[in-house]
Amino acid sequence: EKRNLLGFEVKTEGRGDDRKIVSMTLANRKPLDRNKKYLIAVNSFDARSGGHHFMKLRAFLERPEANCVLHPVQTRDALIGYFQRHKIVHRIAARIPLTVAA
């Protein structure tokens, strides 16, 4: 399963539980500074394992040294709130006529 870590370039090897990060740089390919801390945000679904696809991420975030802060707003609720506030700007016309099953 692919996910984007905006601002970073991550290369991995292996599959499934054997997948490991082999290199990680900033998006401009500059190396990470080992003496610097980086703030990384992930959505609540992925932070809680992404439907069991990201169990290693969940285990990492549960470690005290990860200094993980869970925001009280769930991703789903934030999206619902956004669309409720902004309503429909314009409808997107279907390219293929949709049929409704009775």
Asked if 54 and 65 count as a contact pair (C-beta separation under 8 A), the reply is no
Threshold 0.85, pTM exceeds = no
Surface-to-core class of residue 42, CB atoms within 10 Å of its CB (0-12 exposed, 13-18 middle, 19+ buried): middle
Task: Note down pLDDT in tens along the chain; length 102 residues.
Answer: 566 677 888 888 888 778 788 888 888 889 999 899 888 888 878 887 777 777 888 888 889 988 888 788 887 888 889 889 987 767 767 677 666 665
Asked if 11 and 27 count as a contact pair (C-beta separation under 8 A), the reply is no
